[in-house]
Amino acid sequence: MSTISPDNTITIALSVSDRSVSAAWYKKHLGFDELFSADEAGWTELATNTAGVTIGLGDAEKVSPGSTMPVFGVPNFDQARAALEAEGVAFDGETIEVEGMVKVAAFFDPDGNPLMIAEDLSQG
C-alpha cells in the first residue's frame, strides 16, 4: 500500500548554520525562489527549478555535511503514519506539529536512512 500519493510534493531538508546565508546562496547560484521563512520554526523553504520539489533549510547548531532528509508531502498525516506503522516502519519519536503550519515525523528505511512525512496545515 502506498502512503505517498503522486500529486504531492517532496522537500529535501538540509541542516544549515545560517538560514539567511544559505537561502541567499541557493537564490544566487541555483536560481531558487524563497517561498517562506518561519523564524519560530527555524525553517526556510525554497522552490527549486523542478516542479513539486523544494529545498527546506533548518536551523542546526551542528551541521553534518551530506546529511539530507527527503520530506514527502501527504494529504492526511495521521492516516499515512498509521499505515506505515502498521507495516512495521520505525519512526523516530512522536509527531511534531507546528500549529497552523505543518505536522511532521521522521522514519527510517531498512538501512537507517532518515525520511520524513509532512502534512501542510496552512491550507486548511
Average pLDDT, the chain: 88
Q: 77-122: per-residue pLDDT in tens?
A: 999 999 999 999 999 999 999 999 899 999 998 778 888 999 999 8
DSSP assignment of 24-60: HHHHHHH--EEEEEEGGGTEEEEE-SSTTEEEEEEE-
What is the pTM assigned to this prediction? 0.76
Per DSSP, what are the bridge partners of residue 36?
45
Domains along the chain with CATH numbers: 9-68 (3.10.180.10), 74-124 (3.10.180.10)
Better-predicted residue by pLDDT, 6 or 69: 69
Quick one: average pLDDT of 4-10?
67
